[in-house]
Amino acid sequence: MSRSILYLGGSGAISAACVHQSLAAGWSVSLLNRGRSRLRPPPAAVEAIRADLADNAAVAAALAGRQFDVVADFMSFDQRRLTRNVDLLRGRVGQYIFISSASAYQKPVAALPITESTPLRNSYWQYARDKIACEDRLTAWYRDQGFPMTIVRPSHTYDEATIPLEGGWTVLARLRAERPVVVHGDGTSLWVLTHATDFASQFQPLVGRPQAIGQAYHITGDEVLTWDAIVTTLAAALQVEPTLVHVASQTIARVCPQIGPSLLGDKSHSVVFDNSKVRSLAGGFVQRVPFADGARRLVDWHLAHPEAQLVDAELDAAFDRLAAA
């Protein structure tokens, strides 16, 4: 009899790839979400459990009496929702995998490469602080009550429908129109991008593994790129020559407050990851999608989907002001 896994979410860039990987590994897969995603529809083989994860009563009714070997929680972004989910599933789950974030690691990073023992502290970004608080609570439950948790920290993960730049299609539209593109700092800080399928191939070996209980793992690719290289690679996929304008991160954050926290709290800092811990269970991983290939895939997908070519007019105007200054 196949073992069961419940995905809280399951339609995002990362979780949808993991759903396919779990099915390929022979697991019985259930998804708990609203069932509204047209971007990444679930495979026919999954069980669809319909509930709005923001509705406590609906989630309680959906999970009543259910047991799962593993629950993968991609949708808890604060302690309140995490506590609600754990209270509903306590005693009825063999492993609870919480999806945190590599943005939780100390910024600026004191030493590279980043390992799972790198301190967790982010004074710039509330999203990261909330993930840290969730990790702290899970760790306390594990130590005090033996709650079977595993923490997973993705870094910057993307798929064909996700453009890994602040501004998304707005930046690609500027590239296509041969308008200047703003790059933070001097463009030479180091960054790691991970295609969702590469993440999923390392995530699945953690699923149902007793050795992973009580542990934290980050999962990233091995390719390290500068931000200039990332933008230039996307321009090459669009078959255009980019005009890059370098602007201090603090200035971008002031002019574009909607992207300021994630820029100052994550992307403006160099990151390189040591993935040996997850590889000790995943074994034999080879990054299958270098960003040059991933960039071509996402560009082709967006060019074939005009409905996804959305320009943020406010952000676009802000980029014009920054480039002019």
Supply the pLDDT for residue 284. 77
- DSSP state, residue 2: -
Tens of pLDDT, residues 118-128: 999 999 999 99
In whole angstroms, give the CA distance from residue 243 to residue 113: 31
- Average pLDDT over the chain reads 96
pLDDT of residue 91: 95
**271-318 per-position pLDDT tens digit:** 999 999 999 998 878 899 999 999 999 999 999 999 999 999 999 999
The predicted structure's pLDDT at residue 206: 97
Q: Are 114 and 191 in contact (CB under 8 A)?
A: no
Q: Which residues of 132-159 are buried (b: 16+ CB within 10 A; e: fewer)?
A: bebbebbeebbeeeebbbbbbbbbbbbb
CA distance 297 to 58: 38
Coil, strand or helix at 96: strand
Report which of 130, 60, 146 is spatially closest to residue 96, judged by C-alpha positions.
Answer: 146
pLDDT on residue 159: 98
Handedness of CA 78, 81, 82, 83 (dihedral sign): positive
Query: Can you give the pLDDT at residue 261?
Result: 95
Place of tokens 């799972």: 116
| Cβ 154 vs Cβ 14: under 8 Å | yes
Boundaries of every domain in the chain: 4-157+193-219, 165-191+225-272+290-324
d(CA 194, CA 14): 10
pLDDT digits 0-9 by tens, 22-41? 999 999 999 999 988 889 99
Spatial separation of the C-alpha atoms in residues 271 and 269, rounded to whole Å: 6
In the chain, % of residues over pLDDT 70: 100
Angle at CA of residue 252, ends 246 and 258, nearest 5°? 140
Per-residue model confidence as pLDDT tens digits over 209-226: 999 999 999 999 999 999
Residue 37 confidence (pLDDT): 85
According to CATH, the superfamily of the domain at 4-157+193-219 is NAD(P)-binding Rossmann-like Domain (3.40.50.720)
The pLDDT assigned to 196 comes to: 98
pLDDT at 38: 86
| Band of pLDDT at residue 58, cut at 50, 70 and 90 | very high
Distances (CA, A) of 51 to 57, 69, 200: 9, 20, 24
pLDDT for the residue 321 = 97
Say what the pLDDT of residue 36 is.
Answer: 85
Quote the tokens at residue 101: 């974030």
The beta strand positions in the chain, using DSSP E, are: 4-8, 28-33, 47-50, 68-73, 93-99, 149-154, 156-158, 181-184, 190-191, 193-195, 216-219, 225-226, 244-247
- What confidence score (pLDDT) does residue 282 get? 83
